């Protein structure tokens, strides 16, 4: 009989338990032994509450029941992110999970809208988006299966308690045969001929040996950096925010199905509504604000009493030079970090896992697989970086040193090309790899007042009156569909996804 392949996951945060769950699901009964080491003494980063729609497919692949998952993680539904004060002070827009309007005349909907906008006969683009109007009114329902209805044309994600999600997945992983070891890794031995990791030793002397190591040890990067010295590409030049302070508080008001990101003078503040509390944090650049001042600004703007002391976090934006190096794959914060402005970290964990599953080295580690993995993950990170940077540079603000810094910045070529194509005629360059599709770019660019100088000339071939009639109809159908949608709190109860621990906020 063939020897089982041994996989050792170091770390039991969101990254560690997502990886363990997925691998145990995919390789159960296929001769793969999975051990996960985590240290209660070290703990987890303790933030990471807002997600992207793709996480639904991750849970579905594991066979997780949505209602159970939502109850156990105090989750709410998320239709997008509201950005306040980014383009100019007083501006607000929602980046929705879904398309605007419906496809018409073989063209992107926003091109037709741009044409009518020139005639002054349309309202904001947001009025043609079901998820935006539903989010603004605090309403939610699962997308309809009927693709001919307006209420089918969107996606949704979750806002959840990340520590409860890790616990939830731990139960899943252990039931699937993952062996969990509590302890702190203090020594990593390298193999003298391959240079890869040979074994790790815990504080109590226990030694663990594996064929493949997955480093989910968080910012420490215990294996990928401390042991293998892989190196880090520092992206602070483009995304210089380097600290955050976070504090949960009691929830107030209507349970809203979206995350809010409010721009501040030296960074931005998040608000994430969960069933049992609201998560808050201020991400900032310490060059322009002190830790005390950032903490004060956060704590003085909470909507209800704080439920914990503020927690300080330090980070450097960037990515590991190689995500996969020798026999170590870094997933999660050990692989890199991009600020949580668009809730992308958990998604990048998911990308890391999906790519690893596709290239899983059951037959031994091959350099071509490593190359492919690093190439794909590198592009994923780079594209997210550009999208985040777009929020900072598409601004008319100049009321603080931080905003002036961004106004005078030289952009990465990849982002500059994208902006040029947009400004010329409202076209969004498309990628093969990268999480954000054209509607997301349209949302942020128009939301932050980057209006193209021209639109697709084919839009002029359509009779103005007919086009106007079509857009008016979509707008009124969108509004009607939203009016028929329940408030999120009512939907959670009805759907059976409301946590039993605390009553939901009344609207
Ligand atoms: C301010 C901030 C806000 C964020 N918000 C979001 C968000 O809204 N959405 C989103 O998608 N992501 C967000 N993230 C990112 C998200 O928190 C992480 O991607 C996610 O939690 C995964 O973390 P991790 O598992 O890689 O690391 P961690 O949670 O730090 O876990 C590391 C694990 O490794 C273990 N460990 C470390 N060293 C050792 C050792 N020597 N021996 C044994 N065990 C060890 C620890 O005990 C722990 O179990 C945010 C991050 C920050 C900093």
The pLDDT > 90 percentage for the chain reads 92
346 CA closest ligand 1 atom index? 11
Instruction: Provide the pLDDT for residue 434.
Output: 85
259 three-class SS: strand
DSSP for 29-92? TTTEEEEEEE-TTT-------B--TTHHHHHHHHT--HHHHHHHHT-EEE-EEEEESSSSTT-E
Residue 372: C-alpha distances to residues 15, 221, 358, 430, 486 (Å): 21, 21, 11, 21, 45
User: Using CA atoms, how far apart are residues 290 and 395, in angstroms rounded to an integer?
Assistant: 24
24 three-class SS: helix
Instruction: Provide the pLDDT for residue 507.
Output: 38
Confidence class of residue 501 from pLDDT cuts 50, 70 and 90? Answer: low
CA torsion through residues 143, 148, 149, 154, sign: positive
Instruction: Provide the pLDDT for residue 1.
Output: 52
* Burial of 119 from C-beta contacts in 10 A (0-12 / 13-18 / 19+): exposed
**Over the stretch 96-150, which tens digit does the pLDDT of each residue have?**
999 999 879 999 999 999 999 989 999 999 999 999 999 999 999 999 988 888 8
Give the up-direction half-sphere exposure of residue 368: CA atoms within 13 A in the CB hemisphere.
Answer: 1
Give the residue, out of 8, 9, 47, with the most ligand 1 atoms within 8 A of its beta carbon, to mutate for a pocket test. Answer: 47
**Over the stretch 147-160, which tens digit does the pLDDT of each residue have?**
888 889 899 999 99
User: Using CA atoms, how far apart are residues 418 and 58, in angstroms rounded to an integer?
Assistant: 30
Mean pLDDT of 25-49: 94
User: Using CA atoms, how far apart are residues 468 and 472, in angstroms rounded to an integer?
Assistant: 6
> Which residues are catalytically annotated?
78
Confidence class of residue 31 from pLDDT cuts 50, 70 and 90? Answer: very high
**449: enclosing H helix or E strand:** none
Instruction: Provide the pLDDT for residue 506.
Output: 43
**Over the stretch 334-347, which tens digit does the pLDDT of each residue have?**
999 999 999 999 99
**Over the stretch 285-300, which tens digit does the pLDDT of each residue have?**
999 999 999 999 999 9
User: Using CA atoms, how far apart are residues 2 and 375, in angstroms rounded to an integer?
Assistant: 31
The answer to whether 450 and 423 are in contact (CB under 8 A) is: yes
CA torsion through residues 49, 55, 58, 63, sign: positive
Mean pLDDT of 23-48: 94
Give the residue, out of 8, 14, 208, 311, with the most ligand 1 atoms within 8 A of its beta carbon, to mutate for a pocket test. Answer: 14
What share of residues in the chain are helix, strand, coil (percent, to 5)?
Answer: 40, 20, 40
217 CA closest ligand 1 atom index? 34
Q: Is pLDDT above 80 for 9?
A: yes
What's this model's pTM, rounded to 2 decimal places?
A: 0.96
Kindly indicate whether the domain formed by 5-49+161-235+318-365 is annotated with CATH number 3.50.50.60: yes
43 CA closest ligand 1 atom index? 47
Ligand 1 contacts (CB < 6 A) are 10-16, 37-39, 42-45, 47-51, 162, 184-185, 216-218, 220, 222, 244, 246, 281, 313, 315, 332-334, 340, 343, 345-346, 349
49 CA closest ligand 1 atom index? 8
Give the residue, out of 21, 332, 343, with the most ligand 1 atoms within 8 A of its beta carbon, to mutate for a pocket test. Answer: 332
Residue nearest to atom 7 of ligand 1 (CA): 48
Domain with CATH 3.50.50.60 in the chain: 5-49+161-235+318-365
Residue nearest to atom 50 of ligand 1 (CA): 48
**Over the stretch 473-483, which tens digit does the pLDDT of each residue have?**
999 999 999 99
**Over the stretch 227-281, which tens digit does the pLDDT of each residue have?**
999 999 999 999 999 999 999 999 999 999 999 999 999 999 999 999 999 999 9
Q: Is pLDDT above 90 for 3?
A: no
């Amino acid at each position: 009989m063939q020897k089982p392949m041994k996989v050792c996951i170091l770390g039991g945060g969101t990254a560690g338990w997502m990886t363990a769950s997925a691998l145990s699901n995919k390789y159960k009964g296929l001769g793969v032994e999975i051990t996960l080491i985590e240290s209660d003494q070290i703990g987890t980063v303790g933030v990471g509450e807002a997600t992207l729609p793709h996480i639904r497919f991750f849970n579905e692949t594991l066979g997780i029941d949505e209602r159970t998952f939502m109850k156990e993680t105090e989750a709410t539904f998320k239709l997008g992110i509201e950005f306040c004060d980014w383009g100019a002070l007083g501006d607000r827009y929602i980046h929705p999970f879904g398309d605007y309007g419906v496809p018409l005349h073989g063209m992107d909907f926003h091109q037709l809208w741009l044409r009518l906008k020139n005639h002054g006969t349309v309202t904001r683009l947001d009025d043609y988006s079901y998820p935006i109007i539903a989010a603004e009114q605090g309403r939610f329902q699962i997308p309809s299966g009927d693709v001919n209805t307006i209420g089918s044309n969107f996606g949704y994600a979750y806002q959840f308690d990340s520590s409860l999600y890790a616990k939830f997945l731990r139960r899943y992983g252990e039931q699937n045969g993952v062996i969990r070891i509590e302890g702190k890794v203090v020594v990593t031995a390298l193999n003298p001929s391959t240079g890869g990791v040979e074994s790790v030793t815990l504080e109590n002397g226990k030694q663990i040996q594996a064929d493949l190591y997955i480093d989910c040890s968080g910012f420490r990067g215990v294996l990928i950096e401390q042991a293998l010295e892989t190196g880090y590409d520092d992206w602070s030049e483009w995304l210089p925010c380097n600290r955050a302070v976070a504090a949960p508080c009691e929830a107030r008001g209507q349970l809203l199905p979206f995350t809010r990101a409010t721009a501040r003078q030296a960074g931005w503040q998040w608000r994430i509504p969960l069933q049992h509390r609201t998560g808050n944090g201020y991400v900032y650049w310490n060059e322009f604000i002190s830790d005390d001042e950032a903490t004060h600004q956060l704590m003085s703007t909470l909507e209800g009493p704080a439920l914990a002391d503020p927690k300080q976090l330090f980070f450097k934006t960037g990515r590991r030079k190689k995500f996969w190096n020798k026999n170590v794959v870094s997933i999660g914060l050990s692989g890199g970090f991009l600020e949580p402005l668009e809730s992308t970290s958990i998604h990048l964990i998911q990308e890391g896992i999906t790519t690893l599953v596709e290239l899983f080295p059951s037959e031994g580690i091959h350099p071509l697989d490593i190359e492919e993995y690093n190439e794909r993950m590198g592009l994923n990170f780079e594209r997210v970086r550009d999208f985040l940077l777009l929020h900072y540079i598409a601004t008319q603000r100049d009321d603080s040193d931080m905003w002036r810094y961004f106004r005078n910045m030289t952009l990465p070529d990849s982002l500059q090309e994208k902006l040029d194509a947009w400004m010329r005629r409202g076209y969004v360059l498309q990628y093969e790899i990268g999480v954000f599709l054209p509607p997301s770019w349209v949302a942020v660019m128009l939301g932050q007042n980057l209006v193209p100088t021209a639109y697709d000339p084919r839009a002029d071939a359509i009779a103005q009156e007919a086009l106007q009639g079509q857009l008016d109809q979509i707008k009124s159908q969108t509004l009607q569909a939203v009016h028929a949608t329940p408030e999120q709190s009512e939907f959670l109860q009805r759907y059976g996804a409301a946590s039993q621990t605390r009553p939901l906020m009344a609207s």
